[in-house]
Chain A
């Protein structure tokens, strides 16, 4: 039990990587508060793991304060924060309107920032804590038509470094997880373009998108949850301010995005 006695908040915890992390954390002994936009999937996850669900918009500061409050009241404090809530709209700079730009940055970056800010006093009270920001390989390399998303995921890496430097001496670690393609509802939506254009199934779209990645497959949400667990747990107590790249080797080769780019219009 690698998170025995720990309390965690996982944002975007209703589906995908967040839900998988919440489930895995609970199996490892943690008490988990899941947050997200839609109440229904959150409540299902919370019920399954004996956790708490707090529905609301990640861009809303009040909602985040409430999540921290629930962790304190229901479970007595806070040790781990996984800022996972995220969304993405496609588009090169000229195609991104203000609303989509602000929504992307608002949820992915400002949401993570505000969650961490709301959580810090509780983490500092424990004298020890771990923050995992779920970024992306899109935070480390470029790709076609993802101006807002790539900017937001790059910013999350900067945020992790900043937290690590300022709060490390006070016992708080912060790291960014950088997944490649992961089979999640969000990943499924990213595949829609390929599916329509080539008339292929979802499974085939994932296969095409990852065919140049050394491991030749997308990740599962559980695999990313396992990475969140490592960064959250004391196993990584000397690991801070860094990026954990979990991408099937995609960044080790120079063709990581080729499969995707080839199929783009």
Chain B
């Protein structure tokens, strides 16, 4: 255990897989009770089972972050289960790839509504609850693609870049507005992280490493646990003077 989150309650969206799941497991191992929210209840329940297997506390909720009433139900469920909420991790997100000429309006809406509007909706639902706890912290999931267009993949994704650029500025604006309620708001910016999030392949494969090694300044691709560690730090009291900040967890991708 690195950071002490005993007595704290975290609500994490998209916690049924990838970075959200790793964050849920990590915070639970550091003493937090976790409201595991995912659009798929079975995935959320699997994460809760893994938390329980490690001796931690979690409860599963299904919610689509695009849907205010589902978000509010999950929030109310978390408050009923744990009495309060101190931390929020806005992790739910998705990526789609389409060149501009073929990008359907529905797909634009899906990406923007999930990644950007979802972050707004969940934060709006949770901020008053976190404020009631006296103090708290929020971490949003931005990405290196909040800063640069990673064109080398050949996968055009104007909607994804726009949504994650939006998350960056939303993070800063929320940090300014919520400081008065003693809530810090920061974002992590993952780079190449080996999760099923990125279509088209296993980043741990030798072929993927071959194509990536010259872009990275560390000798491996990132794991969900690397991002979970940064999120745990930003939520913890060790980061009590950090708000409105972007923390790349990218193996130096943005350095050059």
List the interface of chain A (C-beta within 8 A of B): 2, 161, 164-165, 168-169, 171, 173, 179-180, 214-216, 219-220, 223-224, 226-227, 229-230, 233, 235-242, 244-249, 251-253
Contacts and interface: CB of A to CB of B under 8 A. Distances in A.
A168 B217 contact: yes
Contact of B218 (A220, A235, A237, A252): A237
Nearest to B214: A169
- B interface SS class: mixed
Contacts of B230: 235-236, 238-239
A168 B233 CA distance: 22
Given A223-B240, A246-B245, A252-B244, A240 B252 contact: yes
Given A220-B241, A242-B252, 9 more contacts: A165-B255, A226-B238, A233-B2, A242-B248, A244-B245, A244-B247, A248-B179, A249-B176, A249-B243
B238 A242 contact: no
Select the residue from B2, B238, B241, B247 with max chain A CB neighbours within 10 A.
B241
Given A165-B217, A173-B218, A214 B176 contact: yes
Interface residues of B, number: 39
Contact of A215 (B173, B227, B243): B243
A258 B176 CA distance: 15
B241 A164 contact: no
Contacts of B154: none
Contacts of A216: 179
B175 interface: yes
Contacts of B2: 2, 233, 235
B248 A227 contact: no
B226 interface: yes
Nearest to B222: A238
Contacts of A165: 217, 252, 255-256
- A interface SS class: mixed
B229 interface: yes
Given A169-B219, A214-B176, A252-B175, A219 B241 contact: yes
B210 to A, nearest CB: 15
B233 A240 contact: no
B97 interface: no
B251 interface: yes
14 contacts: A164-B255, A168-B218, A173-B217, A173-B218, A214-B180, A238-B249, A239-B248, A244-B245, A245-B245, A246-B242, A247-B245, A248-B243, A251-B244, A252-B175
A256 B238 CA distance: 22
Contacts of A220: 241
B239 A249 contact: no
A237 B229 CA distance: 9
Nearest to B238: A226
A244 B232 CA distance: 15
Interface of B: 2, 172-173, 175-176, 179-180, 184, 191, 216-219, 222, 226-227, 229-230, 232-233, 237-252, 254-256
Given A173-B218, A242-B248, A249-B244, A226 B229 contact: no
A128 to B, nearest CB: 9
A121 B251 CA distance: 22
Contacts of A244: 242, 245, 247
A169 B213 CA distance: 9
Nearest to A252: B244
A226 B2 CA distance: 12
B176 A253 contact: yes
B229 A235 contact: yes
A19 B219 CA distance: 32
Contacts of B241: 179-180, 215, 219-220, 223-224, 227, 246-248
B242 A242 contact: no
A168 to B, nearest CB: 3
Contacts of A237: 218, 226
A37 to B, nearest CB: 27
A247 B242 CA distance: 6
Select the residue from B179, B218, B248 with max chain A CB neighbours within 10 A.
B218
Contacts of B175: 214, 249, 252
Select the residue from A173, A226, A236, A239 with max chain B CB neighbours within 10 A.
A239
